[in-house]
């Protein structure tokens, strides 16, 4: 017993126990009150009660450590207390710099915990079935979180015409004619493929044909992203990562804020890039060229710029892996597909959207002019890549993967990061260097692949450290970036049911065969018709629907008066909700 008392009173354990008690005191205070980020907060607390609570918890934890024989409770309590305290702080103060400071603290804690394996993780019995369970759980969590978030957005009238209304109208027409026709994208009837060549959407059509609803599209995107856990698991297994590390990576995948926040503006074809690229990487690792080429082709079908990822993966295979035949095949496929897409868009469509790279455009030189700037003025290119805003964005991409994508001795592996640099960091189009938009999905897939193969090549202790860092950073950044979006959407969905019911009832009055112009957040709810436009369209329609909620009503005051002056009749007036005007020529 004397020896146990002596071990329990070791200075290192006493310090850990003291810090653990301190963390738990702050957790309890966070539950009871908020406002910790005000200087007056500390003076609102009783020093005596604070000290008593701290001392009481310290005594309780000391007793627990004395009783426990095989478990180092001090290390576990400090870990749990720190994580709970950090998440509590971040939940109340969603500041990115504050989050980065806590991630640095987590780095220090991990160094201490992994030295001498203080948590006893290496001794924990682990079966492969547990890792499979983690994988399934990760997939279910992604599906549930993204599915609930995006479906609540639709139910709460938060989904705009650009871009969800466009795809709702497109799938309505695809179900009827098999053609991707849409009227509300360019204010006229045209194929969506005149804007982006994305035949990958046809993979969702069978499900939509059976369940024709915007919710099917939202859940379809969630299922596509959730399916990425399968190739990640298989990649980790193929690279002989331990089942424990694989499980940690599954947790990091499920909590990755880039995956969740990329759906903040609803369905986009880019969501397919995550599983399709990961399957391409997996079959390349297995030396199976046929399925590898198949998934590479499917990746090209996502969008014309998706070929960039296939091209650089081909170069990666040639230069880094010395797999010349496979690399050349993928490179040729990507270049041919991009060339064909460029020709079709230029000849029959609206052209390639090079306006996303306006900072590299000079006069009318287009993409070739952009290449000229990169080659002949690298200083300018570098100045466009490395800015304070983009540095934070880079950290938000890399930290949820524990910096593993860049932890390699082989510089040639960094080729897979070039699409990220070209598409996300070089552009001055603000949406392309923000995790709140879909433009990050392709780069994320490349980074996940690099994280897995680098973890397999690192020393066991380093890999263990970085994988755990990935899981913790994912948790912290999810709390800062994703949780507020989910919480705010749920709050609106739950507390404004009366408003949504009134909107549903009013919009149901419009005949399904009637042509309509509608405010942006109403288009996805009126999509199931052949002709629908944005409310500012100059096309004549049978009905015009105005959003009368707050600022949305203020934006269209003059437009409403114009229609009424032209003789449009009030078909439905729900004050504060919606105003429906009927064309006087409609019987």
Are residues 186 and 71 part of one domain? no
Question: What are the Cα distances from residue 510, in Å, to 506, 507, 515, 526?
Answer: 8, 6, 9, 9
- What pLDDT, on the 0 to 100 scale, is given for residue 363? 63
What's the pLDDT score for residue 39?
Answer: 80
Report the alpha-carbon distance of residue 452 to residue 480 in Å, rounded: 25
**Are 405 and 366 spatial neighbours (Cβ–Cβ below 8 Å)?**
no
301, two tokens: 């079908």
Would you say residue 228 lies in a domain? yes
Please name the residues in contact with 437: beta carbons below 8 A apart, sequence gap of 6 or more: 262, 264, 265, 431
Are 180 and 316 in a shared domain?
Answer: yes
Distance CA 402, CA 573 (A): 54
Q: What is the dihedral of CA 228, 229, 230, 236, to 10 degrees?
A: 120
Domain of residue 563 covers 499-582
Residue 520: inside a domain, yes or no? Answer: yes
Q: Give residue 370's pLDDT.
A: 73
Q: Verify that 133 and 13 share a domain, yes or no.
A: no
Which of 454, 472, 492 is a domain's end point? 492
Name the β-bridge partners of 533: 517
Residues 171 and 239 reside in one and the same domain = yes
Cα four-point dihedral sign 237, 239, 242, 247: negative
In the block, which residue shows the tokens 């780069």?
443
> 153: Cβ–Cβ under 8 A, 6 or more apart, which residues?
159, 218, 266, 489
Residues 280 and 304 in one domain: yes
With respect to residue 376, please indicate whether it lies within any of the assigned structural domains: no
φ, ψ dihedrals at 95, nearest 5°: -105, 130
Residues 578 and 466 in one domain: no
Q: So what's the pLDDT on residue 125?
A: 84
The candidate with the shortest Cα–Cα distance to 259, out of 231, 239, 229, 237, is: 229
Give one DSSP letter per residue of 532-558, joined into a string.
Answer: EEETT--S--SEEEEE-STHHHHHTHH
- Residues 171 and 98 grouped into a single domain: no
**Does an H or E element contain 17, and which?**
helix 11-32
**587 in any annotated domain:** no
79, two tokens = 């870990």
Residue 193 to residue 179: CA distance in whole angstroms? 10
Q: In sequence order, what are the residues at sequence separation of 6 or more whose Cβ sits closer than 8 angstroms to the Cβ of residue 468?
A: 110, 114, 248, 402
Q: Is residue 379 part of a domain?
A: no
Q: Angle CA(191)–CA(195)–CA(197) in degrees, nearest 5?
A: 80
**CA 267 remoteness from chain centre:** 12
- Position 557 scores a pLDDT of 93
Does some domain include residue 365?
Answer: no
Domain-located, residue 366:
no
Cα–Cα nearest to 35, from 98, 101, 89: 89
SS3 content of the chain, % helix, strand, coil (to 5): 70, 5, 25
pLDDT at 333: 97
Pair (134, 248) in one structural domain: yes
Q: Which two tokens stand for residue 550?
A: 């707050």
- The rounded distance, in Å, linking the Cα atoms of 248 and 240 is 14
Same domain, 551 and 467: no
- Give me the phi and psi of 570, to 5 degrees please: -80, 115
Check: CB of residue 269 under 8 Å from CB of residue 303: yes
195-217: b or e for each residue (b if 16 or more CB lie within 10 Å)? Answer: bbbbebbeebeeebeeeeebebb
β-strand partners of 181: 191
Residues 184 and 276 in one domain: yes
What residue spans of 93-199 are helical by DSSP H? 96-114, 128-155, 166-177
Distance CA 476, CA 400 (A): 9
Number of domains in the chain: 3
Asked whether residue 377 is domain-assigned, the answer is no
Q: Which residue, 462, 492, 522, sits at the end of a domain?
A: 492
What SS3 string covers 223-272? HHHHCCHHHHHHHHHHCCCCHHHHHHHHHHHHHCHHHHHCCCCCCCHHHH
pLDDT along the chain (587 residues), means of 10: 63 89 92 76 88 94 81 89 95 91 96 89 85 96 98 97 94 96 94 94 97 97 98 97 95 97 96 98 97 98 95 97 96 96 86 66 66 80 87 96 93 94 89 94 98 95 96 97 96 95 95 95 94 94 95 93 93 94 87
Whole-angstrom distance, CA of residue 214 vs CA of residue 170: 11
Residue where one domain finishes, among candidates 90, 106, 123:
123
Q: Rounded CA gap, 201 and 365, in Å?
A: 32
Q: How far apart are CA 119 and CA 75, in angstroms?
A: 6
């Amino acid at each position: 017993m004397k020896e146990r008392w002596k071990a329990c009173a070791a200075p290192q354990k006493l310090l850990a126990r003291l810090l653990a008690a301190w963390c738990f005191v702050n957790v309890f205070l966070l539950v009871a009150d908020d406002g910790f980020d005000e200087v007056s907060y500390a003076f609102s607390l009783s020093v005596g009660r604070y000290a008593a609570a701290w001392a009481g918890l310290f005594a309780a934890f000391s007793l627990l450590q004395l009783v426990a024989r095989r478990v180092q409770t001090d290390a576990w309590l400090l870990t749990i207390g720190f994580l709970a305290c950090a998440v509590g702080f971040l939940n109340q103060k969603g500041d990115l710099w504050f989050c980065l400071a806590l991630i640095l603290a987590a780095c220090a804690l991990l160094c201490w915990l992994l030295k001498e394996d203080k948590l006893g993780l290496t001794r924990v019995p682990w079966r492969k079935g547990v890792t499979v369970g983690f994988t399934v759980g990760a997939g279910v969590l992604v599906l549930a979180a993204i599915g609930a978030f995006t479906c609540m957005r639709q139910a709460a009238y938060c989904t705009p015409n650009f871009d969800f209304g466009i795809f709702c109208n497109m799938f309505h027409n695809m179900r009827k004619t098999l053609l991707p026709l849409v009227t509300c994208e360019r204010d006229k009837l045209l194929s969506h493929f005149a804007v982006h060549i994305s035949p990958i959407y046809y993979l969702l059509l069978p499900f939509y044909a059976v369940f024709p609803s915007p919710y099917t599209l939202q859940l379809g995107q969630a299922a596509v992203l959730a399916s990425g856990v399968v190739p990640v698991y298989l990649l980790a297994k193929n690279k002989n990562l331990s089942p424990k590390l694989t499980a940690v990576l599954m947790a990091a995948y499920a909590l990755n804020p880039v995956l969740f926040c990329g759906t903040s503006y609803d369905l986009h074809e880019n969501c397919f890039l995550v599983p399709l690229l990961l399957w391409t990487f997996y079959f390349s690792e297995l030396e199976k060229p046929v399925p590898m080429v198949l998934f590479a082709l499917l990746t090209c079908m996502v969008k014309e710029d998706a070929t960039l990822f296939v091209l650089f993966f081909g170069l990666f295979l040639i230069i880094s892996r010395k797999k010349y035949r496979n690399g050349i095949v993928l490179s040729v496929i990507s270049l041919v597909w991009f060339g064909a897409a460029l020709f079709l868009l230029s000849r029959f469509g609206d052209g390639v959207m090079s306006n996303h790279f306006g900072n590299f455009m000079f006069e009318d030189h287009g993409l070739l002019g952009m290449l000229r700037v990169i080659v002949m003025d690298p200083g300018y290119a570098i100045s466009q890549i490395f800015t304070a805003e983009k540095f934070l964005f880079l950290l938000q991409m890399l930290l949820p993967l524990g910096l593993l994508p860049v932890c390699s001795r082989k510089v040639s592996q960094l080729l897979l990061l070039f699409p990220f640099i070209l598409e996300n960091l070089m552009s001055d189009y603000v949406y392309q260097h923000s995790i709140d938009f879909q433009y990050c999905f392709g780069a994320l897939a490349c980074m996940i692949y690099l994280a897995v193969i680098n973890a397999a090549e690192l020393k066991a202790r380093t890999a263990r450290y970085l994988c755990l860092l990935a899981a913790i950073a994912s948790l912290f950044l999810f709390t800062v970036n994703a949780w507020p979006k989910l919480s705010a959407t749920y709050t609106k969905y739950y507390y404004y049911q009366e408003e949504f019911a009134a909107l549903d009832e009013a919009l149901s009055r419009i005949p399904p065969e009637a042509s309509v112009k509608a405010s942006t957040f109403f288009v996805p709810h009126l999509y199931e018709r052949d002709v629908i436009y944005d409310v500012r369209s100059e096309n004549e329609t049978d009905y015009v629907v105005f959003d009368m909620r707050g600022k949305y009503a203020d934006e269209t005051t003059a437009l409403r008066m114009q229609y009424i002056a032209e003789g449009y009749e009030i078909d439905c007036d729900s004050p504060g909700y919606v105003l429906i005007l009927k064309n006087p020529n409609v019987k």
